[in-house]
Amino acid sequence: MKLARSFYERPDVVTVARELLGKELCVVMDGQLTTGIITETEAYAGITDRASHAFGGKRTARTEIMYARGGTAYVYLCYGMHSLFNVVTNVKDVPHAVLIRAILPRKGISTMKARTGKNVINGAFSNGPGKVAKALGIHYSHSGLDLLGKAIWISDAGLEVPDDQVLCGPRIGVDYAGDDAKLPYRFCWNVSVIK
DNA sequence: CGGCCGATCCACT
DNA sequence: GTGGATCGGCCGA
């Protein structure tokens, strides 16, 4: 069942990041359906969060998408070669977002393998935000798409994600953010217990 | 307009 | 564990 607008528009981005674990991210690109269970997320808490692109209320052509209403896709290019996919949360003009860092591929696996080439190492797959977007066919030009639309949406797969299977800790790659880099805004569902 | 840098990934040692 | 790839976005001049 597709998640409703109200799921994304809630005020606490950290809660949304936690609850996105176990949900199914579904994407139709190039006529191909690919989906995966979300296993790792990070919250970016808007204008007060030094690690966020919207820190200090900054608005640019790129970050403007973060100010859209909850349930919008924010995708941007990192290191000149990787698209990173985020879920915009909270109401319009509050630039909160959740980065999807890892998924467990579910449907369209052969399509994902074709897109990512030989990115299958030690049994892991689609772990890492750049690889997730690549496997799902998401490009930074897709930034701004509605998550209640027909290209990208998220479903409640009916999976239970108990607290004792969830790791919570600091975010990755945000050392530049000072004290905010230490905030426990990263959630990881321990995949080894899923099977 | 020039220069710096990044919410990363992979090959290689 | 480490360094290179690679280029859009952002800022300062």
- Mapped onto helix, strand or coil, the DSSP state of residue A14 is helix
Provide mean pLDDT across the span A116-140.
81
What is the reported pLDDT for A117?
Answer: 82
- pLDDT mean across residues, chain A: 93
More confident residue, A116 or A194: A116
Which pTM does this prediction carry? 0.94
Identify residue A150 by its one-letter amino acid code: K
Alpha-carbon distance of A156 to A145, in angstroms, equals 19
Which strand C nucleotides have any atom less than 7 A from protein CB atoms? Answer: 5-11
Which strand B nucleotides have any atom less than 7 A from protein CB atoms? Answer: 5-11
What is the reported pLDDT for A124?
Answer: 60
- Using alpha carbons only, give the angle A100, A101, A107 rounded to the nearest 5 degrees: 75
Above 60 in pLDDT, residue A119? no
Name the residue with the least CA to C1' distance from nucleotide B9.
A130
Question: What 8-state DSSP symbol labels residue A183?
Answer: S
What is the reported pLDDT for A125?
Answer: 72
DSSP E strands, A20-175: 24-29, 32-45, 72-78, 82-89, 96-107, 152-155, 166-169
